[in-house]
Chains A and B, each alone.
Chain A
Amino acid sequence: MKLRSSDPRLRALVYQVSAAAATLLLGWFLISNTIENLAERNIASGFAFLDREAGFAIGETTFVPYSASGTYLEALTVGIANTLRVALIGIVAATVLGSLIGLARLSRNWLLAKLASGYVEFIRNVPLLVQLFFFYALIAEHTPVPREAIEFLPGWYLSNRGMFFPVPVFHAAHAWALAALAAGIATAVAFARWAARRRALTGGSLPVAEIALALVLGPPALTFIAMGTPLEFDVPRLSGFNFSGGVALTPEFTALTGGLILYTAAFIAEIVRAGILSIPRGQIEAACALGLRQRRILRFVILPQALRVIVPPLTNQYLNLTKNSSLAVAIGYPDLVSVANTTINQTGQAVEGVAIIMAVYLTITLTISVVMNWYNARMALRGQ
């Protein structure tokens, strides 16, 4: 067989070989330059610096203990934990708030719908960074000093040092109640599966939601009552110039998490709205005609179809929120990027620092993608 110059296979080969060669050449060019430049600046490449003492303090830590005498590795771990804390709280709260706003936009109540759509339009058209600066300035400039803190709920204080609220003092009964809750959830899941199988086999249906709810809430409540409902709160108290006791949220954390939640919720609201609007009216009318009750229509007709439309773009929003949490560096919350930035400035290990940032974010975003794809595959229509 003869190859002519216009043969598509020959062309494909030429294109691919030249693309691969160009990429390799570019890579070699960049890497050799980098090695040369590093040698010239006397920077030793590699991750040996991670074991050295960091020497900088970090304003707030999540679960991981840290002091200025810790190593760079420990400092970066604190940064990762702080990023994950913001991302996790943000994702949960933004989903709830976004769904509520999305539903509000579809409400028959004119005032509620307009309020929700005004919110969405305004938030989506202003850069997140401006919003974060705004909230940070609002907390720093327009909240009083701790001595005159606003007590907006009994025991909950807002001041320019952040937000303070009471937490229950730990008691053994709480651990038992939590264990009972876990057991209750496991039983409820098993029961729901059994009920679904039973329905598929016999067609007989049980009040699954009510029984499951009782199974989840009953055991912990009973355990708690049986152990004498020991509940005591650690309430924040003014001591000197600041509060002590309770839980303290720093202004940075409050501004960052609050800003991310409000921003992402506006996008999630649009996704939820689009998902619900995507269901043809006929589906709901048909369900009504079959005599299904309102709640069953929601559970068996609207949600399964709407979720199929909602989940893929929702995943994107979760990824965006996680990536946007890196804006923390601009308002001084010690997330991964912020700690890595300090590390780069102190050690000059720019390549390694940026590589660590990218590797961590890729790991987080890939994990979220995998989990959400698994969920999406479960929700997908079978046989299509």
Chain B
Amino acid sequence: MAAAPKKGSDPIFEWIRAKLFPSPLSSVATVLILYLAWQAIPPFIDWAFLDAIWRAPDSAACRAAAGACWVFVTEKYRFILFGTYPYEEHWRPALAIFLLITLWAASLAPMFWRRWLPLMWLAGLAAIGVLMWGGIGGLSYVENERWGGLVLTLLLTTFGIGGAFPLAVLLALARRSRMPVLQGLAVGFIELVRGVPLISLLFMASVMLPLFLPAGVSIDKLLRAQIALILFAAAYLAEVVRGGLQVVPRGQYEAADALGLSYWRKTVLVILPQALKIAIPPLVNSFIGLFKDTSLVLIIGLFDLLSTVKIVLTDPVWSGFGVEAYLFASLVYFVFCYAMSRYSQRLEWRLARAEGARPR
């Protein structure tokens, strides 16, 4: 028998053949992609790095250069991250951002899922409140109109989730209940909110809410936007929680009933822990969605991360560098969202593995 050509003699060559040129059509695609990459990547590297201006006293050098103007970012990053917060006090929002990220990171790790976690949050949020507002302990008072940038984005997300989650659980329970009035109210609220764009809710909060309140009572803009975000997120989270509730086996409900547990004990001790555990990955995805959606508060004039970027661009010195500015903003959002989405994927995988390993 003639010796067949030894397969896999060169693993690299084998890999290239199998993964890049498995069929004629596929080979055409590979060649096309390589050609496009060759056309696009070197000019991009020239623009973004080689011809880019990193340090300069002002934008004049940028206007002459062929590359990107990262001076925009190096000069203005503090305004972008902290907004109009007093310049000498920037360490306070910086510390608040650090605290918030630490709290989130801790809450996402199962080893911290203990009874004291809510207490840790309360303490953390109190500390953040003191840091941001000040007014005690020698810290100067800073009204919340001056909060802005990344810290505002993170705070809107945190309180959005914190406010929306309990509301969402109640809405989901009401929608699943056999009481027609509660069910009708929950369905009406959820479908109404999910049927309209977030902007219309934000408009409602900014122009209609003042009309809703008795004369003399006013709520500041930040809180109004926060309420709109909470109501919006609650409707979407409620559907995720309902999805979790639906897959809890009937036997669990029946067993809890057989033990003679009351509705609330059954729900809190037996059903919700299982339903929420199943719903964690889609819940995290909804959290990512809310984090991205907070960028819409720009439209009603709050100074979140995207807004501060846009404000810098209205400065005639820096106008015309929108591409660099929004690339930087994209990068900041991407870092947070990508970290969360990787987390949710890992958790999903772990839960699936735990499910598969369970003895039957």
A contact set with B: CB distance below 8 Å:
8, 12, 15-17, 19-20, 23, 30, 33-34, 36-38, 40, 107-112, 115, 121-122, 124-131, 133-134, 136-138, 140-142, 319, 323-324, 326-327, 329-330, 337, 341, 344, 350-351, 353-354, 357-358, 361-362, 365-366
Contacts and interface: CB of A to CB of B under 8 A. Distances in A.
Contacts of B20: 109-111
B203 A354 contact: yes
B196 A361 contact: yes
Contacts of A127: 292-293, 295, 306, 333
Nearest to A129: B295
A22 B228 CA distance: 20
B26 interface: yes
Contacts of B295: 127, 129-130
Contacts of B178: 12
A16 B179 contact: yes
B211 A37 contact: yes
A9 to B, nearest CB: 10
User: Which 8 pairs across A and B sit closest by C-beta, in order of nearness?
Assistant: A137-B322, A125-B337, A110-B19, A16-B181, A127-B292, A326-B197, A134-B326, A323-B197
B156 interface: no
B323 interface: yes
Contact of B330 (A38, A110, A126): A126
Given A15-B179, A108-B26, A330-B298, A33 B212 contact: yes
B59 to A, nearest CB: 13
Contacts of B182: 15-16, 19
A107 B25 CA distance: 11
B30 A362 contact: no
A236 to B, nearest CB: 26
A201 B309 CA distance: 67
B211 A351 contact: yes
A329 B292 CA distance: 17
Contacts of A37: 210-211, 213, 215
B288 interface: yes
27 contacts: A8-B263, A16-B179, A16-B181, A19-B182, A23-B185, A34-B212, A36-B214, A107-B29, A108-B19, A109-B30, A111-B33, A111-B34, A122-B334, A127-B292, A127-B333, A129-B295, A134-B330, A141-B322, A323-B197, A329-B299, A358-B192, A361-B197, A361-B200, A362-B195, A362-B196, A365-B195, A366-B195
Nearest to B294: A127
Contacts of B320: 141
Nearest to A108: B22
Given A112-B26, A354-B207, A337 B199 contact: yes
Given A36-B215, A127-B306, A327 B30 contact: no
Contacts of A319: 194-195
Interface in B314-339: 320-323, 325-327, 329-330, 333-334, 337-338
Contacts of B327: 134
A230 B194 CA distance: 49
B341 interface: yes
Contact of A34 (B30, B211, B298): B211
Interface in B8-48: 19-20, 22-23, 26, 29-30, 33-34
Interface of B: 19-20, 22-23, 26, 29-30, 33-34, 178-182, 185, 192, 194-200, 203-204, 207-208, 210-215, 263, 288, 292-293, 295-296, 298-299, 306, 310, 320-323, 325-327, 329-330, 333-334, 337-338, 341
A114 to B, nearest CB: 10
A41 to B, nearest CB: 8
A36 B215 CA distance: 8
Query: Chain B: interface secondary structure?
Result: helix
A90 to B, nearest CB: 14
Given A122-B334, A137-B323, A327 B199 contact: yes
In this complex, the member of B185, B298, B323 whose beta carbon has the largest number of chain A beta carbons within 10 angstroms is B323
Nearest to A357: B200
A115 to B, nearest CB: 6
B29 A138 contact: no
A142 B44 CA distance: 13
Contacts of B203: 337, 341, 344, 350, 353-354, 357
Contacts of B330: 126, 130-131, 134
A351 B204 CA distance: 8
Given A37-B215, A111-B33, A112-B29, A128 B196 contact: no
Contacts of A8: 263
Given A125-B341, A126-B330, A319-B195, 20 more contacts: A12-B178, A16-B179, A17-B181, A108-B23, A109-B22, A110-B19, A111-B20, A112-B30, A125-B338, A127-B293, A127-B306, A130-B326, A136-B322, A319-B194, A327-B199, A351-B208, A354-B204, A354-B208, A357-B200, A361-B197
Nearest to A361: B196
A127 B199 CA distance: 14
A109 B26 contact: yes
A144 to B, nearest CB: 14
A121 B194 CA distance: 25
Given A125-B341, A323-B197, A130 B333 contact: yes
Contacts of A112: 26, 29-30, 33
B109 to A, nearest CB: 21
A54 to B, nearest CB: 18
Contacts of B208: 350-351, 354
B26 A107 contact: yes
A305 to B, nearest CB: 21
Contacts of B323: 134, 137-138, 141-142
A362 B201 CA distance: 13
A323 B193 CA distance: 11
Contact of A109 (B19, B207, B263): B19
A319 B310 CA distance: 28
B326 A133 contact: yes
Given A129-B298, A134-B326, A354-B208, A323 B215 contact: no
B181 A20 contact: yes
Contacts of B296: 129, 327
Nearest to B217: A33
A73 B133 CA distance: 46
Contacts of B204: 354
A36 B216 CA distance: 12
